[in-house]
Amino acid sequence: MRSFSLVLLRRLLFRSPPQSHHTHTQKDPRITLYDHMPNHSLSNLERLLLHSLSHEPSDSVRRKTVDTVCDLANTAMNRGRPWHALQAQAFHMTQAELHGFRECAFRVFSGCPNLVMDLQTDAVLSVFEKGLRDTQSVDVRAVTFAM
């Protein structure tokens, strides 16, 4: 149910509203539910998704959370709203004890490459190198390599 909720959330947030047949003017296709949400609602949504990303016990639900987080982060960045807390949490998760959380951190980087664009190259390379050399999980290495 949590996976389905995340998929539904993504679809509702980023789908353009249907065009009315009575309107002859072209609506901006960029206008979505996301664009109509107040800042405090967006902040609450971001906090909930970050919590899910770092606490969700199910790998499959966590992967759906990553998909939703990446869509939200990319949309936010395209609209001039950086998500610094996601950047910090993703880097923190690369050091997680459980490999499923490390894998999700690298999935976030793969889905949101802009998260690492403004960081020092040496620091980013160091984190990615650790991912490529992860001794506990082939999945972590594979996701890091695919980036």
* Half-sphere exposure (Cβ direction) of 34: Cα atoms closer than 13 Å: 24
Q: Which of 139, 146, 2 is nearest to 64 (CA)?
A: 2
Q: Where are the domains of the chain?
A: 2-14+30-146
- Residue found by looking up tokens 């959380």 in the block: 101
Of the chain, the end-to-end C-alpha distance in Å amounts to 29
**pLDDT reported for residue 132:** 94
**pLDDT reported for residue 77:** 93
**Secondary structure of the chain: what % helix, strand, coil (to 5)?**
70, 0, 30
pLDDT, mean of residues 25-37: 73
**pLDDT reported for residue 16:** 74
CA gap 32, 13 in Å, rounded: 6
CA gap 29, 36 in Å, rounded: 13
Global pTM? 0.85
Instruction: Look up residue 87 and give its amino acid.
Output: Q
**pLDDT reported for residue 147:** 80
128 phi, psi to nearest 5 deg: -65, -35
**pLDDT reported for residue 146:** 87
- What angle (nearest 5°) sits at the alpha carbon of residue 86, between those of residues 145 and 91? 45
What residues have CB less than 8 Å from 2, skipping those under 6 apart?
A: 52, 56, 58, 61, 64
